[in-house]
């Protein structure tokens, strides 16, 4: 199954395109630019035939340069690369100037472990299958056809003993595929192969004892699930005049919104330079918004599960795992689809087709009032614009949708689906302390999904923002509140990084306002946007556990830092095999001022997943996320000017 997944998700289409017209500074890299960058590195003797590219992406211009940029200005195009050199354990970073065709900088990064690459994934299967100890463990379980076993390479987590120090490790977990399509239905419990990717061998094997491999398959294609319900009658989504948005390169204009987007090989879907046209005047909202890190810790402390705490972004790269989207199922039929260009492990460019969808959808009721006396109704139907991509990371699938609304609000929706990571249990109804039974002989361990989004907000301009915590509380009884029904709102300005390490509070309906310290609306109020939490969780691992040390950003729902170009990833640049305390926990130690400056808001939300049988063998989509709502950004409802004709009815 894993190999079949790779063959569809990693089927590159090679490009050979000539250089095109002048690009915008934030336009994604072209195949010609990727090829040129690799040639420059080769010419500088920084790569050879054995070098692997962990990352090759556009190095976005400094923010200060982007704020000064005007159409027609000269464009500097640079490429940032992370190289895994042939010498074991040697990792280097390079910056290449494409216009000057020169190497700008090159440095080694001691102790870093880059992301797990496609070549690592492919190599793991062969290494494990060839290991005599692993073969003996399979024979103990009655399995002799090793080609029918799917081996998933799990990131190592933290180094867990002296024998692991200095190695580049993945931990091979086995599932029996046989003639089925879904190998996860038949986990081979109790066996984990520790693979040294540099030495290309299994250096340690864990076998905690035989648990019978489940016999039942759990395929979920139409031919496998049994009788199907009657299909609903057709629902046509038609736009006979085409979509209402305009796209120029990677810039989108729709209903007063204007923004750019890209797919970063590590971060996935990225928003750039988001602004709102307010009565013809462009007003900045966001400079850049992206998934900063994704962390999935499992709650089973047993020997064959304790290492399973994975940084899906920093250890695997979410962008390069974006699917080719299917119209009418992944996204609606009216979606406009965009390809992405990446570099493979050898630095060769390829196209991943249809990675991003842009589409309009019905947004429900926008606003309404029916006059009680006259019966006159005034109402408007909303239209949404959705920018959508889906990444498949092994067994799980994650959708990310940025939704733009006509009332000036913006929301992020994370969509969790795919197959839960299961374990085999000894009996068809066996109880498990750290898991829930989801099928006979199959239990799914409890786990959590944490997402951290980096939001570089520039509300009405960069350099003059602050963050205010908004809490609502009952007014204390007294002469000013004799009925004991008063309700007050408390504003707390977060002045330093330490003050801004905050948690969600249901009791006070807590929100955070990112507001301008210089711009005012017609009512004299500071213009701003509210960060409104959705579903959230707190980490279940103990504060001094190595889970929490590796992913320190989960310790708080909100972090705020002053803008710093190099601070991009909440768990640090190299979370693979890190002992932790990198990223946000390290950056905020200086307790820098965050008042009246260019602020970056880091928001963490979590989903605590206690599995249900209804989520097996593939789970219905679970949605979580947050909203950004204008708060004083406008002086009245900005959607008043939406005409009735905006329903789009022909």
What is the 8-class DSSP label of residue 306?
T
How many beta carbons lie within 10 A of that of residue 207, not counting itself?
A: 17
Instruction: Tell me if 172 sits within 8 A of 195, measured CB to CB.
Output: yes
Of 184, 249, 244, nearest in space to 213 by CA? 184
How many beta carbons lie within 10 A of that of residue 650, not counting itself?
A: 6
396 noted as active-site residue: yes
Instruction: Tell me if 528 sits within 8 A of 632, measured CB to CB.
Output: yes
Contacts 24+ apart (CB under 8 A), 333-337: 333/237, 334/237, 334/238, 334/239, 334/243, 334/359, 334/360, 335/359, 335/388, 336/243, 336/247
Of 49, 169, 74, nearest in space to 114 by CA? 169
Of 43, 404, 111, nearest in space to 258 by CA? 404
Per the listing, tokens 């406008």 go with 634
Beta bridge partners of 296: 310
Q: Catalytic one among 120, 152, 312, 344?
A: 312
Left (φ > 0), alpha (ψ -120 to 50) or beta: where does 279 sit? left
Of 170, 134, 128, nearest in space to 153 by CA? 170
Alpha carbon of residue 129 to chain centroid:
32
Instruction: Tell me if 492 sits within 8 A of 471, measured CB to CB.
Output: yes
HEC profile of 254-294 = ECCEEEEEEEECCCEEEEEEEEEEECCEEEEEEEEEEEEEE
Beta bridge partners of 366: none
Q: Catalytic one among 276, 298, 396, 547?
A: 396
The two structure tokens encoding residue 531: 């960060």
The secondary structure of 191-260 as a DSSP string is EEEEEETTTTEEEEEEE----PPP------STTTS-SPPPPPPP-----TT--S-EEETTEEEETTEEEE
- Give, in degrees to the nearest 5, the angle at Cα 561 between 559 and 567: 105
Cis ω for the linkage preceding 617 (within 30 of 0): yes
Query: Coil, strand, or helix at residue 32?
Result: helix
Strands (E), 47-148: 52-59, 78-84, 91-97, 102-108
Rounded alpha-carbon distances, angstroms, from residue 176 to 422, 432, 492, 583: 12, 22, 56, 38
Question: How do the residues of the chain divide into helix, strand and coil, expressed in percent and rounded to 5?
Answer: 15, 40, 45
Alpha carbon of residue 232 to chain centroid:
33
345 noted as active-site residue: no
Of 168, 176, 166, nearest in space to 141 by CA? 176
Catalytic residue set: 312, 396
């Amino acid at each position: 199954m894993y190999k079949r997944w790779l063959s569809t998700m990693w089927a590159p289409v090679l490009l050979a395109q000539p250089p095109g017209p002048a690009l915008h500074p934030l336009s994604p890299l072209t195949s010609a630019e990727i090829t040129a960058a690799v040639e420059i590195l080769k010419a500088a003797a920084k790569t050879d035939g054995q070098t692997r590219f962990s990352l090759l992406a556009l190095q976005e211009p400094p923010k200060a340069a982007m704020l000064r940029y005007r159409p027609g200005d000269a464009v500097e195009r640079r490429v940032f690369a992370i190289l895994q050199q042939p010498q074991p354990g040697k990792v280097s970073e390079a910056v290449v100037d494409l216009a000057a065709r020169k190497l700008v900088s090159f440095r080694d990064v001691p102790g870093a472990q880059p992301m797990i690459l496609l070549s690592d994934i492919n190599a793991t299967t062969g290494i494990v299958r060839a290991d005599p100890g692993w073969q003996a463990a399979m024979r103990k379980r009655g399995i002799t056809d090793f080609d029918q076993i799917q081996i998933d390479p799990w990131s190592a987590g933290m180094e867990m003993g002296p024998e692991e120090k200095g190695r580049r490790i993945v931990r091979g977990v086995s599932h029996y595929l046989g003639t089925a399509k879904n190998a996860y239905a038949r986990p081979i419990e109790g066996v984990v192969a520790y693979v040294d990717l540099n030495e290309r061998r299994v250096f340690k094997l864990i076998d905690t004892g035989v648990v019978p491999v489940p016999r039942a398959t759990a395929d979920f294609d139409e031919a496998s699930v049994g009788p199907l319900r009657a299909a609903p009658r057709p629902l046509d989504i038609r736009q006979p005049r085409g979509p209402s948005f305009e796209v120029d390169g990677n810039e989108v204009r729709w209903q007063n919104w204007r923004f750019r987007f890209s797919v970063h090989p590590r971060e996935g879907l990225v928003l750039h330079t988001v602004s709102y046209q307010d009565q013809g005047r462009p007003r900045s909202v966001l400079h850049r918004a992206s998934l900063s890190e994704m962390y999935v810790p499992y709650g089973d402390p047993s020997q064959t599960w304790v290492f399973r705490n994975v940084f899906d972004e920093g250890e695997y790269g979410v962008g390069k795992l974006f699917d080719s989207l299917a119209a009418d199922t992944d996204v609606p039929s009216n979606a406009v689809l965009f390809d992405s260009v990446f570099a493979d492990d050898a630095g060769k460019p390829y196209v991943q087709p249809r990675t991003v969808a842009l589409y309009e959808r019905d947004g429900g009721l926008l606003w309404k009032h029916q006059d009680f006396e006259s019966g006159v109704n005034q109402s408007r139907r909303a239209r949404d614009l959705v920018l959508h991509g889906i990444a498949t990371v092994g067994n799980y699938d994650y959708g990310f949708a940025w939704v733009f609304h006509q009332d000036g609000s913006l929301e992020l929706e994370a969509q969790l689906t795919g197959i839960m990571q299961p374990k085999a249990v000894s009996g068809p109804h066996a109880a498990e302390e750290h898991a829930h039974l989801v099928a006979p002989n199959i239990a799914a361990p409890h786990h959590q999904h944490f997402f951290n989004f980096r939001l570089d907000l520039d509300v009405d301009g960069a350099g003059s923002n602050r963050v205010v915590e908004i809490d609502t509380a009952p007014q204390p009884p007294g002469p000013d509140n004799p009925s004991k029904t008063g309700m007050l709102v408390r504003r707390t300005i977060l002045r330093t990084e330490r003050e801004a390490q905050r948690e969600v509070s249901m009791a006070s309906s807590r929100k955070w306002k990112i507001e301008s310290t210089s711009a005012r609306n017609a009512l004299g109020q500071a213009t701003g946007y509210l960060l409104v939490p959705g579903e959230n969780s707190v980490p279940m691992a103990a504060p001094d556990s190595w889970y929490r040390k590796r992913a320190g950003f989960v310790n708080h729902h909100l972090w705020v830092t002053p803008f710093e170009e190099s601070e991009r990833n909440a768990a640090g640049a190299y979370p693979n095999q890190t002992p932790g305390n990198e990223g946000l926990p390290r950056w905020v130690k200086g307790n820098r001022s965050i008042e009246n400056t260019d602020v970056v808001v880091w928001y963490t939300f979590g989903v605590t997943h206690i599995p249900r049988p209804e989520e097996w063998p593939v789970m219905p989509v679970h949605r979580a996320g947050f909203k950004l709502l204008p708060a004083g950004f406008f002086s009245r409802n900005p959607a008043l000017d939406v005409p009735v004709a905006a329903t789009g009815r022909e």
